[in-house]
Amino acid sequence: MADKRMRIAENLEQQGRWFDALIQWQILYTLYPEQQHISQEIDRLSQQIIKKKQFLKAQYAKIEKSDKTKAKKDILLGILAIAPNDPEAKEALRQMNWALALKSANAKTKTIVKYFEENQKKAQKSIELTNLLDQGEQFIKAGKYKALLQTADRLESKHPKHAKINHFRYTAYSQIGKQYQDNNDVETAIASYDRAAKYAPKNDDATLSRKILDLRQTKANEYYIEGKKLFKHDLEKAIELFKRAKAIFPEHPKVMGDLVRAERIQKNLLKIKNLKK
């Protein structure tokens, strides 16, 4: 293992990656402090780095006030290659607004930072999704169905294909419909059930469709019967009730015929009234 790491350190030094090579020697020293030649290599390479850094800084000082932007950039990057934490070189790069150069000098660090940033975004998105799903379930338990619809909208804006969107909307609209039905507001209940049907799962679709049909037939029949009672006494009101019955359940077997008859009678009465004038 020691020989292998030594070869790594030597190869890194040959590539000009002195700082990485020094780290390898320092690791070896931690593992094998009794081997004197390792300590000697650390001292040698450290001095080599110091001298190289001093040389590069002297070169930079000569052209610091010039407009040789590329040359200054190359020198600073050279310093950071052997001493990544050198504060003066870093500050010089910042002042020259060389963000790209700084990223290039710290390629390894950038990769790690990018990895954590991406994973942090994924984690944040996952947390937001979990919070929305938990919030939706809490609204279901609390019977807050309008708030549940708002949660479904927020969920769709962030996760358009999530299966819970339909679940939340189906639950909300069907329960809102039930509330209206319990309060005997059947027409509003039907409207809400119709919306629920758009999001109904396959196993509930047929049941909900039957419920809507039964409500339409029942309510339409109520309007029809009431209209029939008023037919001889309040024709205008009867026509209104027949129309409401037809709007709710167009397939009603009797309402269309009585509506046509009532409108014909109303028309004839209006003619008679106009003739008397």
Q: What is the pLDDT of residues 125-179, one digit of tens each?
A: 888 889 999 999 999 999 999 999 999 999 999 899 999 999 999 999 999 999 9
CA gap 48, 14 in Å, rounded: 13
Residue 59 belongs to a domain with what CATH number?
A: 1.25.40
**Maximum mean pLDDT: which of 31-40, 165-174, 224-233:** 165-174
Are residues 34 and 165 located together in one domain of the fold? no
pLDDT band of 99, cuts 50, 70, 90: very low
Query: Residues near 153 by Cβ (< 8 Å), separated by ≥ 6?
Result: none
Domain span holding position 27 = 2-105
Rounded Cα distance between 132 and 158, Å, is 10
The DSSP-derived string for 31-65 is H-TT-HHHHHHHHHHHHHHHHHHHHHHHHHHHHTT
Dihedral sign computed on CA atoms, order 138, 140, 142, 148: positive
Split into its structural domains, the chain has a count of: 2
Same domain, 98 and 182: no
pLDDT single digits (tens) 85-95: 888 888 888 87
User: Treating both helix axes as pointing N-terminal to C-terminal, what angle do 202-230 and 235-248 enclose, rounded to 10 degrees?
Assistant: 170
